[in-house]
Amino acid sequence: MATIVLIHGGWHGGWCWKRVLPYLRAAGHEVYAPTLTGMGERRHLLDREVNLATHIEDVLALLDYEDLTDVVLLGHSYGGMVISGVADRVPQRLKRLVFLDAFAPQNGDSVAGSVPPEQGAAMRKAIDTEGEGWLSPVPPLAVWGVVAPEDLAWMNPRVGPQPAKTLTDPLPLSNDARLAISKTYISCVSQQRAAFVAISARIRAEGGWDYRELDAPHDAMVTAPRALADMLVDVAT
């Protein structure tokens, strides 16, 4: 069985995997779902200095302290930036990278620079006007395909603002050993967003990826946990 580490996307926390974890563990996998600094139950650590490098260090520390190897490392959305940075640092610990409707950066990319220009401009404006210049406010949950009242009731108290530097920092990638890691991209196709449509198109054109599609919106771990878990079990094994 596999060792799976699930990295949440922006504005979320490790809590977002709650509906997926039982299925993966029932299949016999060892699963970790850490929360990145300043998010979720770690929001008391939120400050102006939290950046993309901080979140990469969070995951590196988990791998180190839990002595994890042969890891299937999954990043959802923004989490794709984090797992790419981890792969650049410790490729020897990783068996497979899984990008779940995620950013799949190349050297020097940032989240803000990887979305359509009008979306990037709106993001920066919200940071300046609503986030005091250092926080990115939570988008409407419908943007992620979350509309059911019970899902909104669960998520609304738990999502929180994202440290702006995590979205604007460029990600340096220089270790070519990361390129040898097997890679899966899962595109959530029932409610496609422009940034991820472009990324999935690039990945299919590149070749060398295990490309899959899931009939679910962006926050599949909330809206389609069983379908997502079944796909992850297949990918991991």
- Record the tokens describing residue 18, joined without a space: 């709650």
Q: What is the pLDDT of residues 113-136, one digit of tens each?
A: 999 999 999 999 999 999 999 999
Give the rounded percent of residues in the chain with a pLDDT score beyond 90: 96
pLDDT at 207 over 90: no
Q: What is the pLDDT of residues 10-27, one digit of tens each?
A: 999 999 999 999 999 999
State the pTM of this model. Answer: 0.97
- Record the tokens describing residue 215, joined without a space: 């009939």
Q: Is 190 a catalytic residue?
A: no
Q: What is the pLDDT of residues 137-163, one digit of tens each?
A: 999 999 999 999 999 999 999 999 999
C-alpha 35 chain-centroid distance: 11
Within 10 angstroms of residue 133's Cβ, the number of other Cβ atoms is 11
Q: What is the pLDDT of residues 62-118, one digit of tens each?
A: 999 999 999 999 999 999 999 999 999 999 999 999 999 999 999 999 999 999 999
Q: Which of 237, 225, 229 is nearest to 26 (CA)?
A: 229
- Record the tokens describing residue 87, joined without a space: 């792969």
The model's confidence at residue 194, banded by pLDDT at 50, 70 and 90, is: confident
Out of 77, 84, 136, 187, which one is annotated catalytic? 77
Q: Which of 185, 212, 150 is nearest to 19 (CA)?
A: 150
CATH of domain 3-236: 3.40.50.1820
